[in-house]
């Protein structure tokens, strides 16, 4: 039996809080689909698809892609067969309209909010290096074994186009103005968990994992009492 079956998780937090880092670890351990709207948009830009061309300049400035495009992309992605085993959504939803859209098409089991201060978020972004396979590194906090080369796939590491000072400031502003509102929305539904993101990567993961294990154990107990 797959460990994380039926986990339908949202991970939210400011830029640089470690959503991508933690989502990759959770998806690998619990064998669920890892879905990042940011990664999908960057892939579309790289391949210069219609979607990529439409979102390129919006992303470079650190603004949100229009809801219609984002919602359609997510609807299509969640319809794929790998999502039946559970999924983690990194970077979606990002405003109330997206949250309401998501709940109209899918149920969500829980949401992890990775909290970090703006100061820490900015520090993290400035040292970030990415690989096209999905791995994320940090020059100081999480360096690859060989400088500039991915540990997992030997790919060349690169900087993100939207990691400029202006775009970073804009993304943080939007986070506080728009994305934070989804936290109280899910809090009211009783499925929200806040994690202190200002700890070392494995310690953040330990906190996430503790909650996931508790939820999975509680679900198992509920099932046993039902039969
Ligand atoms: P997206 O790609 O989601 O970017 P973001 O939200 O700005 O978040 P980041 O990916 O920058 O940070 P992260 O939290 O994943 O941190 P990471 O793990 O990399 O979105 C990009 C753009 O796409 C948006 O601006 C928008 O234009 C568009 N978009 C996406 N979704 C959309 C939506 N739903 N609606 C509309 N538009 C949308 O970690 C950061 C660094 O810190 C790394 O170097 C990492 O190694 C390091 N690190 C991680 N954890 C720790 C730790 N605990 N201690 C020390 N270092 C750490
Ligand atoms: Mg990310
Ligand atoms: Zn790689």
pLDDT, tens digit, 9 for 90 and up, residues 185-205: 999 999 999 999 999 999 999
Q: Is residue 86 part of a domain?
A: yes
pTM (predicted TM-score): 0.93
- Structural domain total, the chain: 1
Q: Whose CA is nearest to atom 48 of ligand 1?
A: 18
pLDDT at 55: 97
Answer yes or no: is the C-beta of 17 below 6 A from any ligand 1 atom: yes
Whether the per-residue pLDDT at 227 is higher than 70: the answer is no
Which domain does 29 fall in, by range?
7-118+167-226
pLDDT at 70: 98
The H-or-E segment that residue 22 falls in is: helix 19-30
CB environment 165-176: b (16+ within 10 A), e (fewer): eebbebbbebbe
The average pLDDT across 48-70 equals: 96
Answer yes or no: is the C-beta of 179 below 6 A from any ligand 1 atom: no
pLDDT, tens digit, 9 for 90 and up, residues 84-135: 999 999 999 999 999 999 999 999 999 999 999 999 999 899 899 999 888 8
Question: Using the 8-state DSSP alphabet, how is residue 66 labeled?
Answer: P
Q: How many A from CA of 102 to the centre of ligand 1? A: 20
Q: Is residue 171 part of a domain?
A: yes
Residue 142, token pair as written in the block: 């999480």
The average pLDDT across 27-51 equals: 95
Ligand 1 atom closest to residue 204's alpha carbon, by position in its atom list: 53
Q: Is residue 131 part of a domain?
A: no
Q: How many A from CA of 167 to the centre of ligand 3? A: 25
Which stretches does DSSP call E strand in 131-212? Answer: 136-138, 192-196
Which ligand is nearest to the Cα of residue 160, counting in written order?
1
Nearest Cα neighbor of 141 from 201, 198, 195, 197 is: 201
Active site residue 128: yes
Q: How many A from CA of 49 to the centre of ligand 1? A: 22
Q: Is residue 220 part of a domain?
A: yes
How many whole angstroms separate alpha carbon 58 and alpha carbon 44? 13
Q: Is residue 48 part of a domain?
A: yes
- Residues whose CB falls within 8 Å of the CB of residue 20, separated by 6 or more in sequence, listed in order: 36, 38, 39, 90, 134, 136
Which ligand is nearest to the Cα of residue 157, counting in written order?
3
Q: Which residue carries 């990529």 as its tokens? A: 52
Under 8 Å between Cβ of 103 and 25: no
Q: Decide: helix, strand or coil at residue 195.
A: strand
Ligand 1 atom closest to residue 163's alpha carbon, by position in its atom list: 11
Q: Is residue 44 part of a domain?
A: yes
Q: Is residue 147 part of a domain?
A: no
pLDDT at 161: 87
The average pLDDT across 143-158 equals: 97
Q: Is residue 144 part of a domain?
A: no
* Domain CATH number, residue 36: 3.40.50.300
| Percent of the chain whose pLDDT exceeds 90 | 84
């Amino acid at each position: 039996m797959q460990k994380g079956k039926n986990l339908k998780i949202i991970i939210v937090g400011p830029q640089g809080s470690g959503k991508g880092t933690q989502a990759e670890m959770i998806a690998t351990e619990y064998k669920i689909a890892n879905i990042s709207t940011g990664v999908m948009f960057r892939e579309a830009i790289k391949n210069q698809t219609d979607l990529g061309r439409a979102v390129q300049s919006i992303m470079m400035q650190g603004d949100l892609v229009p809801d219609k495009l984002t919602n359609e992309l997510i609807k299509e992605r969640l319809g794929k067969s790998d999502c039946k085993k559970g999924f983690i959504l990194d970077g979606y939803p990002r405003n109330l309209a997206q949250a309401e859209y998501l709940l109209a098409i899918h149920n969500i089991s829980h949401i992890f909010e990775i909290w970090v201060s703006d100061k820490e978020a900015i520090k993290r972004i400035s040292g970030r290096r990415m690989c096209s396979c999905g791995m994320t590194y940090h020059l100081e906090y999480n360096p690859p074994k060989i400088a500039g080369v991915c540990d997992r796939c030997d790919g060349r590491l690169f900087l993100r186009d939207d990691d400029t000072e202006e775009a970073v400031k804009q993304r943080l502003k939007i986070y506080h103005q728009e994305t934070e509102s989804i936290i109280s929305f899910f809090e009211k539904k009783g499925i929200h968990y806040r994690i202190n993101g200002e700890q070392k990567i494995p310690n953040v993961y330990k906190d996430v994992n503790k909650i996931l294990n508790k939820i999975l154990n509680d679900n198992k107990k509920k099932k046993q009492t039902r039969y």
